Amino acid sequence: MRDIVQLVIRRLLLGLLTVLAVSLVIFGAVSMLPGDAAQEILGQAATPESLAALRLQLGLDQPAWLRYLHWLGGMVQGDFGTSIANGQQVSSLIGERLANTLFLAGLAAIIAVPVALVLGILAALYRNTLFDRAISALTLTAISFPEFFVAYILILFLSVNLGIFPSISNISPGTEFWERVYRSLLPAAALSLAVIAHIMRMTRAALVNLLGLPYIEMARLKGATPRRAVVVHALPNAVAPIVTVVALNLAYLITGVVIVETVFVYPGIGKLLVDSVSKRDLPVVQAVCLVTSLAYILLNLLADVVAIISDPRLMHPR
Amino acid sequence: MGDTRDDKPLLEIRGLKVEGRTGEEWRPIIKGVDLTLRRGEVLGLIGESGAGKSTLGLAAMGFRRDGCRFAGGTVHFDGIELTHASHQVRRGLRSSRIAYVAQSAAASFNPAYRLMTQHTEFPVLRGVMSRAEAEADAVELYRRMQLPNPEEIGFRYPHQVSGGQLQRAMTAMAMGCRPELIIFDEPTTALDVTTQLEVLSAIRDAVQSFGTAAIYVTHDLAVVAQMADRIMVLLKGETVEEAPTRDMLAAPREDYTKSLWAVRSFRAPEKTGAGAPLVEVRQVSAAYGTTPVLRNITVPFREGRTTAVVGESGSGKSTLARAIMGLLPPVSGHVRLSGKELPRRYQDRSREELRQTQVIYQMADTALNPRQKIGEIIGRPIEFYLGADRRTRDAKVRGLLEDIELDPAEYIDRYPSELSGGQKQRIGIARALAAEPRFIICDEVTSALDQLVAEGILKLLTRLQAERNLTYMFITHDIATVRAIADDVVVMRNGEVVAAGTKEQVLSPPFHPYTELLLDSVPEMDPDWLTRRRPPATGPAG
Amino acid sequence: MSRTLRLLRTMPPSALVGATVIVLYVLVAVFAPVIAPYPEREVVGAQYLEWSSEFPLGTDSLGRDMLSRLIYGARNTIAIAFLATTLAFVLGAVLGLLAAVLRGWVDQVLSRIVDVVMAIPGLIFILLLLSVFGTSITTLVLIIAILDSTRVFRLTRAVAFGIVALDYVEAARVRGEGILWVMRREILPNAMPPLVAEYGMRFCFVFLTIAALSFLGLGIQPPAADWGSMVRENATLITFGDITPLLPAAAIAALTVAVNFVVDWMLHLSSGLKE
């Protein structure tokens, strides 16, 4: 037990280290801006006064390491700097949008994960049958589709032709919960499809990999039904790979929202990012990048910890 | 179950045919075998790899592996026909009336559950016992199987229990519902000899006391002699002969059976005179990280002779080879070749030094690059060390192929996957010879091979040694192989040398106690050997 | 040759369809100027014309011929994705092999760098870099290639680690063979099957990423015809129930589906006799 606590603590520290390294990379990437950042951002037409003001605002008169420490210190305290485009606090720009995005991603996850796991287990159980082949071809197709394709198909059928859902997810802070769910359902569905396909395929693969092992044959020789062999004997051993792939896909949702939010004009962090990139609003881009990386690292951390706990070899050492 | 049915056979297999699929083709594995087993009887199924003995054992349970099919014949278990029975019927018999013990218990126990959970699964599911009864019974069975700490061991996970103990726990699990028939599929093949002895006697005692009928599948004649009332010899899916154990041991009828018996009599000719040491290991200690694996080893390998390094798994015998090769640089001590000290790391050795020491590996499958043709595999060392041009190289490769008794025209352009196990091992030998070395490390070169094939390899190595004055370090765990080929013997245990000397010195009394234990644990071709040879007390509890 | 034929005959229908589609796309990309009825960038009619014999798929938001742009789009989109993938592959595979063979600090340094880069969500990191370096084709290809090479690195390293542990590689090393020989002759040929399959998967991923970026207006820049930007430029038509803007998206989907079908079959092959 002591070993496992140590292992988890070590993993947590590693996560913290990763966060630091990632912040350094993100900061470093922005510092690599060729030439004078202020000049780059404002373009040739900039007046000397506005250039000087922006330089001061970006802290370009200070050495890079000092700027990094300032920036990081600010981040830790929730101060993400000010937007270049409109002078607003970055934190206030991100805050509400982040909540919207998490709501959308959460909704997609609630739809996708159970469906994917059940389908994956069924496909492993009925492997090499028509059902398995059909679902394998379908999911492969789903993975291959660009997100905006899926999103527009959904819009075409469910909102333009049938008029069931709105094609634009108009959400504001005052929107009531179920109304919010209703308006987010179409983007969530668009996000879910690829995630379902990925998780389902990996679940099936993780299970099928185990089915060739001697202890599964042993279960069958002891008289276990195929269902018992898969669900009782194989599944507990597939927890680690499945959890890893679920975490990976939840993290993927964060990237996926960029496209889907743009299609549905959903007021989330992805839409903000795309707008800021076109405006080269670097403080905002930097902040969004860091926040999403944080979520990404956290999810992977969680998956690793679950994998550690689910392994009896680690939980019950010799 | 009345006594009146006892004269009726428990298991009756008639004209059974099983086929396996390779690619699009169905190829026969079992070609029409008959088998009869009475209640309480133990039948030994013996044969080399590919004989179909495991497939036949599984077929007795009405089980076929994926990619196999029953192609004819019948299997009657207590009057129930199994090849055409529904899945429900077949499943219903398993655990409760027919049980199975697999070759590798370590791989066949589910790593996610405690032994007790796995033991009680089917007795409870089949309604034979309540969970509490099943657990109490499991402890009783563990005790009967002479497992240490029977009350506690069931609550461990498989990875917390040693291989020999797991094998006994698996036999206990098979006994859980008191089945009428148990299939033992090579249950001791993966174990060290001293462990094998304990498992064999535990299995035999349990089978006898419950009067369970059993089919005991193995490739080891001496083992089957201890366990079976009757022996059936299989070759390529067909029965060669079948007879009561004592009769078959005393007077095998068929040539194939006789050849199996004869294998054990091969002896390399004695060498005259003791050569000077070619390779000397001097006070070598080595470690993996901080774990010491070799402790102060000193061994001379005398020129023109075979030094067998014997030990059980974990004894450090292969590690010693790695230290000599410079793959695991010693922490202290050194290795000399022809009196000259070798650099510790192979990277620092000259090409000439590397050339003189070559290795033949245990697993020919992983020792040969599957993407290179035989001509390339053997030709590369010639080109690399001797700088030969293409013509000379090809001529030498052909010569080497003839030396290892493979037709050059037929084999030079083949890939390793197109060869049998024994042929691959011969290619491994040719590759080592191609460097024209003086010292060859043979790392368990015959362990993965069938006895007849292994004997061919031993004869080849002996001939090549005489022709080329080679010095062998022969790593093995098998005493019979040592007897067959060694001139000098080194016995290792826990990274130390416990005994060393000529074969006569080490393998005849007075013995070192561990050497004696090793020798005593090797089953002999005598049905009474196990009865005479009571196992030592089981290891310390916990 | 007969081996290739035999392999083709064992192809399942899905892989066969996939291979055919890939060949078709390549032909269209190569012969675009011959096939396309109108030039790529010329305004040839009014905006948003409906499908007609003159303009088989109508015209776009500026009045350019949709079909011609679709055909030229194959050229631009596939060529850039192909370039980026190949670059990513060379970079990732070479470093991955080096890490597996040399181990020690080389492996440590490379692996830690890759860990950090992969801890940042891919598309978002690309957006950050694009906003720093600007959106030219060269930066686009380089950024994607470098970021994607991390995944190739991980796979190659893992596959090569498995092979390095095998006896035949050990035999070559204690024979005294140099690093390059061991990499080229002993490891690479045996690592090829998974790497080839991975190439297909990476291509799909890169292709979809570029399409996504173009769709966001941050990838391939106008007036070059490109499927992602074509969807974006004409998206309004969808709200009127017109499927024309979906055609470039479908073109993307069809190619990735095709590649994935072929990859799936290859993976099945290289996993051995699973069935």
Q: What is the pLDDT of residues C23-61, one digit of tens each?
A: 999 999 898 888 888 888 888 878 877 888 888 888 888
Taking residues C135-164, report their average pLDDT.
92
Among B346, B372, B431, beta carbon nearest to C174? B346
Q: Quickly state the pLDDT bin for A37 (edges 50, 70, 90).
A: low
Note the pLDDT of residue A44.
66
Report the pLDDT value the prediction gives residue B360, as an integer from 0 to 100.
Answer: 96
Q: Which residue has the higher pLDDT, A204 or B268?
A: A204
- Count of other CB atoms within 10 angstroms of residue A69: 12
In which band, very low, low, confident or very high, does the pLDDT at A36 lie, cut at 50, 70 and 90? low
CA A294 vs. chain centroid, Å, equals 10
- pLDDT value of position A43: 67
Cα B527 to the chain's mean position, in Å?
Answer: 21
Partners of C167 on chain B (C-beta within 8 Å) are 361, 363, 366-367
Q: How high is the mean pLDDT of chain B?
A: 90
Same domain, B359 and B238: no
DSSP A66-108: HHHHHHHHHHHTT---B-TTT--BHHHHHHHHHHHHHHHHHHH
Q: How confident is the model at residue C273 (pLDDT cuts 50, 70, 90)?
A: very low
If pLDDT is split at 50, 70 and 90, which confidence band does B525 have?
confident
Structure tokens, B197: 């002895």
- For residue A318, list chain B residues with Cβ-Cβ distance below 8 A: 159-160
At B157-209, the pLDDT tens digits run 999 999 899 999 999 999 999 999 999 999 988 888 888 988 999 999 989 99
- Sheet arrangement for strand B291-302: B291-302, B277-288, B332-337, B340-341
Pairing, β B80-81 against β B291-302: unpaired
Domain segments of chain A as ranges: 2-76, 94-315
Residue B385 included in any domain: yes
DSSP E strands: which ranges in B59-200?
A: 68-77, 80-81, 98-101, 181-185
Nearest to B366 among C167, C175, C275 (CB): C167
- Shortest distance, CA C95 to any CA of chain A (angstroms): 20
How far CA C78 is from CA of B318, C206, C210, in Å, comes to 53, 10, 10
Neighbours of A, requiring at least 3 CB pairs below 8 Å, are B, C
The confidence score (pLDDT) of residue A234 equals 94
Per-residue pLDDT band for C134 (boundaries 50, 70, 90) equals confident
B234 in Cβ contact with B28 (< 8 Å): no
CB contact under 8 A, A293 and C121: yes
B354 closest CB neighbour out of C174, C185, C273: C174
CB contacts of A312 in chain B (<8 Å) are 111-112, 157, 159
CB contact under 8 A, A148 and C275: no
Instruction: Please give, rounded to a whole number of angstroms, the shortest distance from the CA of B26 to a CA of chain C.
Output: 13
Instruction: Specify whether B240 is located in the same domain as B297.
Output: no
β-strands B439-443, B80-81: how paired? unpaired
Considering the domain boundaries, does residue B340 fall inside one? yes
- Reported as a pLDDT band with limits 50, 70 and 90, residue B4 is very low
Point out the residue among C170, C175, C275 whose CB comes nearest to the CB of B354: C175
Rounded distance between C-alpha atoms, residue C15 and residue B386, angstroms: 48
- pLDDT, tens only, A263-280: 999 999 999 999 998 888
Contacts of C275 in chain A (CB under 8 A): 128
Partners of residue B326 in chain C, C-beta under 8 Å: 174
Distances (CA, A) of B281 to B298, B302, B322, C54: 5, 11, 12, 89
B89/B48 same-domain check: yes
The arithmetic mean of pLDDT across residues A26-51, rounded, is 73
A309: which chain B residues are within 8 Å (Cβ-Cβ)?
none
Residues in chain B: 542
Average the pLDDT over B39-66 and give the result. 91
Q: H-type helices in B145-192, by residue range?
A: 150-153, 163-175
Q: What is the dihedral of CA B502, B508, B510, B513, to 10 degrees?
A: 90
CA distance to A27, B55, B71, B85, B96, per residue, from B181 (Å) = 71, 16, 24, 18, 10
One-letter amino acid at C110 equals L
Contacts of B362 (CB under 8 A, 6+ apart): B443, B444, B445, B447, B448
The tokens describing B498, both together, are 């416990």
Q: What pLDDT, on the 0 to 100 scale, is given for residue A41?
A: 65
Residues of B in contact with A127 (CB under 8 A): none
Decide if pLDDT at C274 tops 50. no
Q: Do B186 and B325 fall within a single domain? A: no
Provide Rg for chain B, Cα atoms.
26
Q: Write down the pLDDT at residue B537.
A: 44
Topology, domain A94-315: MetI-like fold (1.10.3720)
CB contact under 8 A, C132 and A288: no
Regarding whether B284 and B257 lie in a shared domain, the answer is: no
Q: Which chain B residues have a beta carbon less than 8 Å from that of A231? A: none
ipTM of the complex: 0.86
Backbone angles phi, psi at A250, to 5 degrees: -65, -40
Chain A neighbors of C122, CB-CB under 8 A: 255
Range of lowest pLDDT (B124-133, B227-236, B328-337, C57-66): C57-66
Which residues in chain A touch residue B63, judged by CB atoms under 8 angstroms apart?
220-221
Contacts of C273 in chain B (CB under 8 A): 22-23
B319/A162: higher pLDDT? B319
| Cβ–Cβ gap A221/B100 under 8 Å | yes
User: Could you state, in order of their start, the residue ranges of all structural domains in chain C?
Assistant: 73-271
Q: Which of residues 222-261 of B touch A (CB under 8 A)?
A: none
C265, C248 in Cβ contact below 8 A? Answer: no
- What single DSSP character describes residue A7? H
What is the rounded CA–CA span in Å between residue A194 and residue A283? 31
For the entire predicted model, the pTM comes to 0.86
Could you tell me if C81 and C207 are in contact, meaning their C-beta atoms sit under 8 angstroms apart? yes
B173 to chain A: closest CA residue: A222
pLDDT greater at residue A285 or residue A30: A285
DSSP B237-287: TEEEEEEEHHHHHH---SHHHHHHHHGGG--PPPPPSPPPEEEEEEEEEEE
Instruction: Please tell me which residue of chain C has the smallest CA distance to B348.
Output: C176
Inter-chain CB proximity B369 and C167 less than 8 Å: no
How far A236 CA lies from chain B's nearest CA (Å)? 6
Round to whole Å and give the CA distance between B463 and B472: 12
Q: How confident is the prediction for chain A on average, in pLDDT?
A: 87
| Confidence tier at B539 by pLDDT (50, 70, 90) | very low
Structure tokens at B428: 């491994």
Find chain A residues with C-beta within 8 A of B107's C-beta: 213-215
Question: Mean per-residue pLDDT for B320-345?
Answer: 94
Judge whether residue C275 has pLDDT over 60: no
| Structure confidence at residue A118 (pLDDT) | 95
- Do the chains contact at C190 and B359, CB–CB below 8 Å? no
pLDDT at residue B22 is higher than 90: no
**Three-state secondary-structure class, residue B86:** coil
Of the partner residues C166, C175, C186, the one whose CB lies closest to the CB of residue B384: C175
Q: What mean pLDDT do residues B94-99 have?
A: 94
pLDDT at C171 over 70: yes
Sequential DSSP letters for C93-146: HHHHHHHHHH-HHHHHHHHHHHHHHHTS-HHHHHHHHHHHH---HHHHHHHHHH
Q: Is the pLDDT of residue B536 over 70?
A: no
CB contact under 8 A, B91 and A318: no
> Under an 8 A CB cutoff, do A316 and B160 touch?
yes
Q: Which residue has the higher pLDDT, A154 or B2?
A: A154
Q: Residue B77 falls within a domain, yes or no?
A: yes
Which residues, including other chains, have CB under 8 Å from residue B120's CB and lie 6 or more apart? B129, B131, B134, B135, B138, B176
Q: Which chains touch B (3 or more CB pairs under 8 A)?
A: A, C
Which domain does B185 fall in, by range?
9-103+174-262
**Cβ pair A222:B95 closer than 8 A:** yes
Say yes or no for a CB contact (<8 Å) between B113 and A222.
no
Number of structural domains chain B divides into: 2
- Whether B474 and B271 have beta carbons less than 8 Å apart is answered as no
pLDDT above 80: residue B272: no
Strands (E), chain C: none
Distance CA B275, CA B438 (A): 13
pLDDT at B305 over 50: yes
State whether B82 and B193 are in the same domain.
Answer: yes
CATH number of domain containing B97: 3.40.50.300
B192 shares its domain with B285: no
Q: What angle do helix axes C104-118 and C66-102 make, rounded to 10 degrees?
A: 150
Q: Which of C66, C72, C67 is nearest to C48 (CA)?
A: C66
CA distance A27 to C128: 10
- Give B26's strand partners: B21
For residues B105, B108, B113 and B115, what is the CA-based torsion angle, rounded to 10 degrees?
Answer: -30
Residue of chain C nearest A34, judged by CA positions: C133
CA distance C6 to chain A (A): 23
pLDDT above 80: residue B455: yes
Q: What is the pLDDT of residue B538?
A: 44
Same structural domain, B229 and B325: no
Task: Evaluate if residue C80 carries a pLDDT over 60.
Answer: yes
**Structure confidence at residue B540 (pLDDT):** 39
What distance in Å separates residue C23's CA from the closest CA in chain B?
28
- What CATH number matches the domain at C73-271, 3.40.50.2300, 3.40.228.10, 1.10.3720.10, 3.90.1280.20? 1.10.3720.10
Phi then psi for B475, rounded to 5 degrees?
A: -85, 130
The dihedrals phi and psi of B496, each to the nearest 5 degrees, come to -130, 155
> Per 3-state DSSP, what percentage of chain B is helix, strand, and coil (rounded to 5)?
40, 25, 35
Give the pLDDT confidence score for residue A68 in this predicted structure. Answer: 86
Shortest distance between the Cα of A187 and any Cα of chain C, in A, equals 16
Matching residue, tokens 């106690």: B513
> Is B324 a residue whose pLDDT tops 90?
yes
Chain B residues in contact with A225 by the CB 8 A cut-off are 91
User: How close is the nearest chain B Cα to the Cα of A225, in Å?
Assistant: 7
Write b or e for each residue in A82-111: b if 16 or more Cβ atoms lie within 10 A of its Cβ, otherwise e.
bbbbeeeebbebbeebbebbbbbbebbbeb
B403 and B325 in one domain? yes
Q: Are A129 and A230 in contact (CB under 8 A)?
A: no
- What mean pLDDT, rounded, does chain C reach? 88
Residue of B nearest to C177 (CA): B384
Lowest mean pLDDT among B236-240, B369-373, C126-130, C267-271: C267-271
Regarding whether B412 and B350 lie in a shared domain, the answer is yes
Alpha-carbon dihedral sign for residues B98, B102, B107, B109 = positive
Q: What is the DSSP string of B475-527?
A: EES-HHHHHHH-SEEEEEETTEEEEEEEHHHHHSSSPPHHHHHHHHHS--S-T
* A40 confidence band (pLDDT: 50, 70, 90): low
Per-residue pLDDT tens for B54-86? 999 999 999 988 889 999 999 999 999 999 999
Domain assignment present for B384: yes
Whether residue B125 lies inside any domain: the answer is no
Which chains neighbour C (Cβ–Cβ under 8 Å, 3 or more pairs)?
Answer: A, B
Residues in B whose CB is inside 8 Å of some CB of C read 22-23, 67, 325-327, 346, 349, 351, 354, 359, 361, 363, 366-372, 380-381, 384-385, 431, 435
